[in-house]
């Protein structure tokens, strides 16, 4: 396999955990929202946007992990890195959400000058904050699990959570 093939394979392997985590999380949130709105006679199928959101969240995490200062506290108690990385992921996700709104505004109005005014006027703030709260909680859970994998190793985590013992290595 050539160098590009190895990079693509490595990228796909790195994407599996965050995509899976956020896919399941976002789909559960979309399903919960659909169930809650059904009592008002509103049928909602927001599952495709939840899947796309999972891909975006995973990509934000992978890009943020490339920052040289993301693993700032590797030898301190785990809470330091968990809170630090959650903050970085939160800021990166906020930037991506802002850029999405900026692009959306530009495509509809063909001007960038009034984007901040547009965002302040048209954002549904309770919805915005609900998403931010859930995103922060999910980012912290993901980061906690990722830090446990970093410290304990994948084999130990599989053994602890799934009861799967690592295969004996061949000499």
Render pLDDT for 83-114 as a digit per residue (tens, 0 to 9): 999 999 999 988 888 788 778 777 877 777 77
Total domains in the fold of the chain = 2
One DSSP character per residue, 6-45 reads: HHHHHHHHHHHHHHHHHHHHHHHHHHHHHHHHHTTT----
The pLDDT value given to residue 171: 59
For residues 51 and 103, state if they share a domain. Answer: no
Token pair belonging to 160: 């602890």
The pLDDT value given to residue 46: 77
For residues 53 and 116, state if they share a domain. Answer: no
For residues 36 and 83, state if they share a domain. Answer: no
Chain position carrying tokens 């809470």: 79
Q: CA-CA distance, 90 to 29, in Å (whole number)?
A: 18
Chain position carrying tokens 């796309």: 52
The full length of the chain comes to 171
What is the pTM (predicted TM-score) of this model?
A: 0.80
Residue 169 lies in a domain: no
For residues 62 and 77, state if they share a domain. Answer: no
Instruction: Report DSSP state, residue 123.
Output: -
Residue closest to 136 by CA, chosen among 80, 83, 66, 67: 83
Average pLDDT over residues 146-157: 91
For residues 108 and 157, state if they share a domain. Answer: yes
For residues 82 and 115, state if they share a domain. Answer: yes
Domain that holds residue 130: 72-164
For residues 82 and 116, state if they share a domain. Answer: yes
For residues 58 and 117, state if they share a domain. Answer: no
């Amino acid at each position: 396999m050539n160098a590009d093939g190895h990079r693509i394979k490595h990228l796909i392997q790195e994407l599996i955990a965050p995509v899976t985590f956020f896919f399941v999380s976002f789909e559960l949130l979309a399903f919960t929202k659909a169930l809650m709105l059904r009592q008002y006679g509103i049928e909602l199928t927001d599952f495709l946007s939840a899947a796309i959101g999972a891909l975006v969240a995973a990509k934000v995490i992978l890009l943020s992990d490339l920052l040289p200062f993301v693993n700032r506290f590797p030898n301190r108690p785990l809470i330091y890195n968990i809170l630090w990385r959650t903050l970085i992921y939160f800021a990166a996700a906020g930037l991506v959400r802002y850029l999405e709104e900026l692009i959306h505004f530009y495509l509809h109005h063909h001007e960038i000058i009034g984007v901040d005014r547009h965002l302040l006027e048209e954002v549904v703030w309770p919805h915005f904050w609900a998403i931010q709260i859930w995103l922060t909680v999910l980012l912290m859970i993901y980061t906690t699990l990722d830090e446990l994998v970093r410290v304990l190793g994948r084999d130990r985590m599989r053994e602890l959570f799934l009861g799967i013992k690592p295969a004996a290595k061949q000499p």
